[in-house]
Structure 1
Amino acid sequence: MAERVEYPISVRLPGYVVKKIDELVQRKEFRSRSDFIKFAVTMTLGQMMIEEARELAKSLTPEEIKAEAMEARRKLLKGDFEDEWPEVKETLQEVEEEFKELTGAE
């Protein structure tokens, strides 16, 4: 499993935001303010990455899209993705563990 390094940072938030975060913590939606902020930042980064991918997709020509799809199909048929599965599985497990940790889920 990849080593996880965390860096402390300071953030100033408006009172109403802190109040809402505290309500979520009190309802046991998150274990702490810090866990909520980690979750919120991670979700926001994910949304930004999805938007970037959408913008990139808009710039591709139909020929480029077709070529990418055919290459992916070729790899799938050949089983070229098989070697990547352990890494993908490990990453998915890490994401699931992080989600459980951040939300306090069992």
Structure 2
Amino acid sequence: MKFIKCLWAMAFLLGLISCGMNHSNLNEAPPPAGINGTKDSNVLMLELGMSKGRVDSIIGPSDFEKRGGSFFNSITCNSHVYNEEFDVKFVHTYFKNGSLIAASDSHSTTCQ
């Protein structure tokens, strides 16, 4: 009987842990969908599914990085500076499991 109670307790704890891993902050906005931008930043040359290295080779290396989501469902937002001569702007690139899932330009701040 003690063994069965122990199994139930372990199952309960595993359930709590797995619920915590899937929990996301409801205040966080989802990343934008697709590729959106202008010719100024070269963001229109990007394609969904590209690696971070390939993206960096097209629009330049990212200057800032922010991670969000759970451990197994992590999304990374990278901020790339462009248009420095006139007014600093940022391209935001979003990666999930190492693949580009969204990109947009004309941001006045880094990824929030």
TM bucket normalised to smaller: under 0.3
What TM-score does the superposition give when structure 2 sets the normalisation length?
0.24
As a proportion of its length, which structure holds more strand?
Answer: 2
As a proportion of its length, which structure holds more helix?
Answer: 1
